[in-house]
Structure 1
Amino acid sequence: MTSRTTPRSPGTAARRPVGTVTRGTTNPNRLRRMDRWIAAAHGAELRRVADPVAVDLGYGAAPWTAVELLARLRSVAPHARVVGVEIDPARVAAARPYERDGLVFRHGGFEVPLAGRPSLIRAANVLRQYDEGEVAGVWERLCARLAPADPASGSRGGLLVEGTCDEIGRRHVWVALGPEGPRTVTFATRLGSLDRPSDLAERLPKALIHRNVSGEPVHAFLRDFDRAWAAAAPYASYGARQRWMRAVRDLTADWPVVDGPVRWRQGEVTVAWGALAPLG
């Protein structure tokens, strides 16, 4: 989708997309774990609004992830709509035949070319090519485009989900952000593919991947997760799921895990952002 923001010269049209073209690698079902988490965590918010719009930002060379996102969101919010946004005009043109009720494709970048504010922005594998120091600025720009919170109605506002996964969607790590900024970090995996929880380190989003070093919170978390996983080895006789659930339960003694057994059974664990945020 996009790489680094390029400076605009005087007279450049304000509508010029922000960013540059990247590889656009994509595969069907690659983002299924992220989508299912979004449906569970954000479905009530999507149902609360009259016209829930989700943005698949940087869907890549083929539109599969946007098509799948629409189906998964409509399972929990039947009136949801999806806008696929890509900075490469050729990719937008190639996706247009897949448009249908509730699904359109637009040329654009981090400016998110919508008239209103979306209830969801999903940016998967978009910031991988960025420098770590650029991430905060991109987050701020995207969070500013989200639907605002409305305390009177109990709404927390829109959700930005930004993270990374492998090519076939076995391992994911993503950060969830609201209009106010980062909220949580979720680790999700196909448990049969996992030797130890720290295997997920290679899929940390750009904000965290270079912080997996001694002295940083995310490194301490993965170290403790590996220790809990080793201690839960007797549960392996009941299957990898039971071992994962036991390890996560042990983690809750020292780390602010914010979800519960229903999500743990899916091979997930979600931790408050503040516990893993980079130092300094």
Structure 2
Amino acid sequence: MASSPLGHPTRGTTGTNRLRRNDRWIAASDAFRRASDPLVIDLGYGASGVTAFELATRLAKVRSDAEVIGFELDPERVATARRQLEDVRAGRTSFAPDLRVSFARGGFEVPLAAGRRPAAIRAMNVLRQYDESDVAQAWRSMTARLAPDGMLFEGTCDEIGRISSWADVSPTGTPVRFTISLRLAELEHPGIVAERLPKALIHRNIPGERIHDLLVDLDREWERAAALSTFGSTQRFLAVVKALKDQGWPVLGDRTRWRLGELTVPWSAVAPAAH
């Protein structure tokens, strides 16, 4: 247990299935699937431990040996999550009683015993109240704890998990990918993700910045593909992704991911301009 955990308390907002899109991304990641120790950290899980339980449940479907540890700065939140875990163990919830989950006090320093290094650290909605200038150091603090092939997934989502985005950050603290993940049904326009960009990008959604260019192009192609709504929002989004690729955007992944409402590009494609 850390005596002085690093970081500032979050608002604690959480909710059932709020982070399902990010759960799915982590479960499919090489960092998790190929890990010798498939330990995943849910950092800053909030006022309830539910996101850690959900993450562990989804990861266990991919690897039965997956383990999740939730870290929070506030000891009261840790105590609450441990009480919830008691209910899980007693079979009083919908989660498996033997779910490999635990909770402890900690922050960006990720205080793990016996020199363990996690395959992945998830820090969603943690940096929202920080200054943009604080992001790089926070990334470095967290990624310093990763396994050599591990990954930090840091980003933001809305309160019900329909709009989200995140950065994949390597063990060196260098961001490598940026992903937008949207619930396509009833989506008015994909540029709404501007409200839920990671802290490193949210203030860069202005003319002259690449993230602004991407969101402008995304919305424009969404409007151009409006006629495809007859065939469903998924077909419309697939057309948008193809159009972006045709324009030269270095879109990663394939239709399997795009159909989920995901758009991933190398971080270099949206990296903030130097000032």
What is the TM-score of this pair, normalised by structure 2?
0.90
Q: State how far apart, in whole Å, the 1-side matches of 2:271 and 2:78 are.
A: 35
Give the CA deviation at 1:47: 3.9
Deviations 1:182-210 (A, max 9, x none): 11111111112321121111111110000
8 Å contact kept, 2:27–2:33: no
Deviations 1:26-46 (A, max 9, x none): 00100001111111223xx43
Q: State how far apart, in whole Å, the 1-side matches of 2:199 and 2:13 are.
A: 17
Give the CA deviation at 1:143: 1.2
2:192 pairs with 1:199: yes
Other-structure match for 1:28: 16
2:189 pairs with 1:176: no
8 Å contact kept, 2:168–2:178: yes
8 Å contact kept, 1:125–1:164: yes
Which secondary structure does the structure 1 equivalent of 2:15 belong to? coil
8 Å contact kept, 1:170–1:193: no
Deviations 1:158-188 (A, max 9, x none): 1110010000101001111121321111111
8 Å contact kept, 1:66–1:82: yes
Other-structure match for 1:146: 146
Which secondary structure does the structure 2 equivalent of 1:262 belong to? helix
Q: Which of these residues, 178, 181, 194, is aligned with residue 185 of structure 1?
A: 178
Other-structure match for 2:112: 114
One-letter amino acid of the structure 2 residue matched with residue 128 of structure 1:
R
Other-structure match for 2:73: 87
Other-structure match for 2:95: none
Deviations 1:47-87 (A, max 9, x none): 43332111000000000000001001111111010000000
Other-structure match for 2:63: 77
Q: State how far apart, in whole Å, the 1-side matches of 2:175 and 2:57 are.
A: 26
Give the CA deviation at 1:14: 7.5
Which secondary structure does the structure 2 equivalent of 1:27 belong to? coil
Other-structure match for 1:105: 103
Other-structure match for 1:153: none
Which secondary structure does the structure 2 equivalent of 1:173 belong to? strand
Give the CA deviation at 1:141: 1.1
Other-structure match for 2:265: 271
Q: Which of these residues, 18, 22, 25, is aligned with residue 37 of structure 1?
A: 25
Q: State how far apart, in whole Å, the 2-side matches of 1:205 and 1:20 are.
A: 17
Other-structure match for 1:259: 253
Q: State how far apart, in whole Å, the 2-side matches of 1:192 and 1:141 are.
A: 37
Other-structure match for 1:10: none
One-letter amino acid of the structure 2 residue matched with residue 187 of structure 1:
I
Other-structure match for 1:166: 158
Taking only aligned residues, the RMSD between alpha carbons, in angstroms, comes to 1.5
Aligned length: 258
Give the CA deviation at 1:266: 0.6
Which shows bigger deviation, 207-216 or 15-24?
Answer: 15-24
Other-structure match for 2:213: 220
One-letter amino acid of the structure 1 residue matched with residue 25 of structure 2:
W
One-letter amino acid of the structure 2 residue matched with residue 23 of structure 1:
R
8 Å contact kept, 2:19–2:161: yes
Q: State how far apart, in whole Å, the 2-side matches of 1:113 and 1:162 are.
A: 18
What is the TM-score of this pair, normalised by structure 1?
0.89
8 Å contact kept, 2:37–2:118: no
One-letter amino acid of the structure 2 residue matched with residue 106 of structure 1:
A
2:243 pairs with 1:245: no
State the identity %: 54
Which secondary structure does the structure 1 equivalent of 2:128 belong to? helix
8 Å contact kept, 2:191–2:218: yes
Give the CA deviation at 1:15: 3.6
Stretches of structure 1 that go unaligned for 5 or more consecutive residues are 1-12, 149-156
One-letter amino acid of the structure 2 residue matched with residue 85 of structure 1:
F
One-letter amino acid of the structure 2 residue matched with residue 259 of structure 1:
G
